A and B are shown apart, each in its own frame.
Chain A
């Protein structure tokens, strides 16, 4: 059986690449071509979930002020805050200068 010289095989490979217009890369260096060749995955990723619209009471109230929507939970919260303020349990006032803020820290 006649053996083929490696140099001849290399030449064959090069000529084959020329003919079929493929990349000739005898040393197998990484060219990063696969990152360009791969399809982009973003568009199909966006299709996974069905489209949805985020509904919120606050947004409805803002978009349609003529509907007179009342957020009951928010009203209850505001009423409670008022009650607490009346009993002197409201949030402390903001410190005007350094000394005041230091005093509040010590008290804790």
Chain B
């Protein structure tokens, strides 16, 4: 069950924004970074890039804990924060994960 708070909602919004604008952003990035293009055109492309909103950049997306919404100490492979990961691992709810002992 997904835990939802304002920060998780914001992250979902950012992910959706990235999905919707990625193609266009890539095209502008290509033109802006291409050294063979005249400087005016590259500058125009860069200005266009700046018009995109905050939640269209992939860097605004942050993996958050699916069960608690926590933003730090996330194990991306499981999508869980360290506490929930530990609890679930102890309850044998994560296949292939068990407490190390030697």
Chain A residues within CB distance 8 Å of chain B: 29-33, 35-36, 38, 40-43, 45-46, 48-50, 52, 54
Whether the Cβ atoms of A46 and B16 lie closer than 8 Å is: yes
Q: Which residue of A lies closest to B76 (CB)?
A: A48
Whether the Cβ atoms of A45 and B26 lie closer than 8 Å is: no
Which residues of B from 9 to 24 have beta carbons under 8 Å from A? Answer: 11-12, 15-16, 18-20, 22-23
Whether the Cβ atoms of A45 and B33 lie closer than 8 Å is: no
Docked Cα-Cα span, A9 to B93, in Å, equals: 60
Chain B residues within CB distance 8 Å of chain A: 2, 4, 8, 11-12, 15-16, 18-20, 22-23, 26, 29-36, 58, 61, 63, 66, 79
Whether the Cβ atoms of B15 and A46 lie closer than 8 Å is: yes
Question: Would you call the interface of chain B mostly helix, strand, loop, or mixed?
Answer: helix
Whether the Cβ atoms of A35 and B33 lie closer than 8 Å is: yes
Whether the Cβ atoms of B29 and A35 lie closer than 8 Å is: yes
Whether the Cβ atoms of A31 and B15 lie closer than 8 Å is: no
Whether the Cβ atoms of B35 and A30 lie closer than 8 Å is: yes
Whether the Cβ atoms of B58 and A41 lie closer than 8 Å is: yes
Docked Cα-Cα span, A52 to B20, in Å, equals: 19
Interface core residue of A31, A33, A43, A49 (most chain B CB under 10 Å) = A49
Q: Which residues of B contact A32 (CB under 8 A)?
A: 29-35
Docked Cα-Cα span, A36 to B32, in Å, equals: 12
Docked Cα-Cα span, A75 to B12, in Å, equals: 32
Whether the Cβ atoms of A49 and B26 lie closer than 8 Å is: no
Docked Cα-Cα span, A8 to B19, in Å, equals: 47
